[in-house]
């Protein structure tokens, strides 16, 4: 599936952008600048940023303006491109500009659209609502599966078999059901130690 971007090549719909602490996965606890692109049709029922789904509801920013905003907060480090589903948009020009400026480019994606962009780190978070393209599994540095119910463990193992052997494996409780699924995740990891726990640290410390 190709991207569906209908905007000028140098512009992207941006819901929000901010400098914060990465709260999830392998880079948890590190300073990171987040650029949340608008547009998503994956449709996770538990999504906590459903306002990002409609790309037309958010302003376009040129890549030069995005870079300028990032440089005003930090001159190096990690930039995370997230969404919505960021791969709905062509990302080559954005990531080239970021890397040329000295930034490390990370993406958080469901993998349900064709990969674009040059990435230092790819966090693939497969969703049952719109499964990732098989061709994207090879790019995953990190597999992060959100656990909403017990059947998600089987879903996680399906994709753990498909990613590369060096891919980091994370199970993350869905925030609103964490009291129910956390004990299940802890027990699962104890019996399957190739997996690690990912927490939404930013929600615990109340930062974006």
- Residue-wise pLDDT tens digits, 42-86: 888 878 888 899 999 999 999 999 999 999 999 889 999 999 999
So what's the pLDDT on residue 2? Answer: 45
Is position 2 within any domain? no
So what's the pLDDT on residue 6? Answer: 67
Rounded Cα–Cα distance for residues 132 and 23 (Å): 23
Containing structural domain, residue 81? 11-204
- Residue-wise pLDDT tens digits, 146-172: 999 999 999 999 999 999 999 999 999
Is position 166 within any domain? yes
Is position 101 within any domain? yes
Find where tokens 């409609």 sit.
54
With a cut of 70, say whether residue 145 has pLDDT above it: yes
Is position 29 within any domain? yes
What DSSP element (H or E) covers 31? Answer: strand 31-37
Among 39, 33, 71, which Cα is nearest to 53's?
39
So what's the pLDDT on residue 47? Answer: 84
**CA angle, 143 then 149 then 155, to 5°:** 40
With a cut of 90, say whether residue 208 has pLDDT above it: no
Hey, is 71 helix, strand or coil?
Answer: helix
Q: What is the CATH number of the domain that holds 136?
A: 3.20.20.70
Is position 5 within any domain? no
With a cut of 50, say whether residue 179 has pLDDT above it: yes
- Residue-wise pLDDT tens digits, 85-127: 999 999 999 999 999 999 999 999 999 999 999 999 999 999 9
Dihedral sign from CA coordinates of 67, 69, 75, 80: negative
So what's the pLDDT on residue 202? Answer: 86
So what's the pLDDT on residue 3? Answer: 53
Domain count, the chain: 1
């Amino acid at each position: 599936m190709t991207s569906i971007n209908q905007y000028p090549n140098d512009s992207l719909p941006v819901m929000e952008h901010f400098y914060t602490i990465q709260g999830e996965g392998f880079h948890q606890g590190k300073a990171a600048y987040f650029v949340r692109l608008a547009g998503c049709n994956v449709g996770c029922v538990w999504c906590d940023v459903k306002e990002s789904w409609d790309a037309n509801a958010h302003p376009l920013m040129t890549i030069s303006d995005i870079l300028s905003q990032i440089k005003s907060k930090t001159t190096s480090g990690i930039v995370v491109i997230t969404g919505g589903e960021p791969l709905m948009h062509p990302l080559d020009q954005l990531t080239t500009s970021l890397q040329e400026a000295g930034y490390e480019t990370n993406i958080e994606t469901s993998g349900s659209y064709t990969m674009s962009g040059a990435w230092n780190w790819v966090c693939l978070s497969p969703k049952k609502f719109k499964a990732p393209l098989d061709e994207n599994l090879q790019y995953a540095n990190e597999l992060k599966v959100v656990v909403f119910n017990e059947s998600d463990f089987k879903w996680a193992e399906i994709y753990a078999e498909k990613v590369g052997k060096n891919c980091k494996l994370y199970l993350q409780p869905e925030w609103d059901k964490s009291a129910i699924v956390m004990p299940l995740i802890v027990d699962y990891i104890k019996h399957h130690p190739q997996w690690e726990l990912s927490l939404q640290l930013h929600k615990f410390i109340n930062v974006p």
